[in-house]
Structure 1
Amino acid sequence: MPNNPASLRSSTAAWEALFRAQVTVMREIQKLPEFKALSTKEYDVLFNLSRCPSGSSRLTDLNQYLLISQPSLSRMAERLESKGLLSRHPDPTDQRAVLFTLTEEGARLQKAVGREHIKGIHALIGKALSAEEFETLQELSTKLRLHMEAR
């Protein structure tokens, strides 16, 4: 907990600035060539699945990292499965549940898009802040996320 709590005005002004920056950057990211064949939301699903330690996840668990509704995620998973990017199989710990896993093609596409994505992010914002400012932004963003997760 900070020693000097923020005022209502300063916390909402900072949130608005953070939100507007994120919206502006995301609009530009969505225009990048790597997102012609795969939307940013679809990529987000593949990226988060690629980070699962077991390589698989239930959609309800995966959804905690995404900003889409559970029904939207279910429909998207079906589309990604029909494209051959995801596979589903029963959860061995709960026969009522289903696990989703990246296919070889899904993992290949996620890595290929990811390589271009990080270059695109750097091209868009790399000159906006100094290395120290990016470090501070990362620290503050992490601190804010951890605060929210601890609630």
Structure 2
Amino acid sequence: MSTATPHQAPSVRETAEAWESLFRAQVAVMRRLQADPAFKELGIKEYDVLFTLSTCPEGGLRLNELNDHVLLAQSSLSRLVERLERRGLVARRAAPDDARGILITLTEAGLEAQRRIGRGHVREIARLFGRALDGDELAELTRLTTKLRQHVVQNHAL
């Protein structure tokens, strides 16, 4: 239990314990999701790119923009995009406002794969989280992680 009051900052130890707990939970969840049968056809990192492109404007994203929006760390995003392009799941096209710029977009096959895999992925997330947390706890988890992410983005930009 926390020894901090609403007006007192938590101790370094409390903060480190909370971070470790969050990190270990995230690793455990990601390991389970990576083993999900939904990702037999396409790995979770490849799916992440398709998912990100499915939520962006129809014009697509530049590689650096895509890297800023993917949920997973993508150290070799360029090669991953090349693999997806060879499979016909994404396409590259010239940016209309910059002849040298290249936009990455989903193909129809990519959108279909994202939707198909996404349905199974969402069911597995619901199963994992729904067995561990009730609705109020899920809402509180979302509130806390959103608050943390916004703080980090707003106050600690690189």
Q: TM-score range by the shorter chain?
A: over 0.9
The percentage of counterpart residues that share the same residue type is 50
Equivalents in 2 of 1:92, 1:6: separation in Å? Answer: 50
TM-score by length of 2: 0.89
**Preserved CA contact (<8 Å) 1:59 1:74:** yes
Deviations 1:13-60 (A, max 9, x none): 111000100100111111111100100000000001111023410110
Distance in 1 of aligned mates of 2:7 and 2:111? 45
Instruction: Give the counterpart of 1:90 among 86, 89, 94.
Output: 94
3-state secondary structure, aligned to 1:126: helix
Structure 2 equivalent of residue 60 of structure 1: 64
Greater CA drift, 83-92 or 3-12: 3-12
Structure with max Cα Rg: 2
**Any unmatched runs of 5+ in structure 2?**
1-5
CA distance in 2: counterparts of 1:80 and 1:54, whole angstroms: 18
3-state SS of the aligned residue for 2:132? coil
In structure 2, C-alpha distance between the alignment counterparts of 1:109 and 1:122, rounded to whole Å: 20
Q: Which amino acid aligns with 1:90?
A: A
AA partner of residue 51 (structure 1):
T
Q: TM-score, normalised by structure 1?
A: 0.93
Residue aligning to 2:79 = 75
Tell whether 2:14 aligns with 1:16.
Answer: no
Which runs of 4 or more aligned residues in structure 1 lie more than 4 Å from their structure 2 counterparts after TM superposition?
none
RMSD between superposed Cα atoms in Å:
1.2
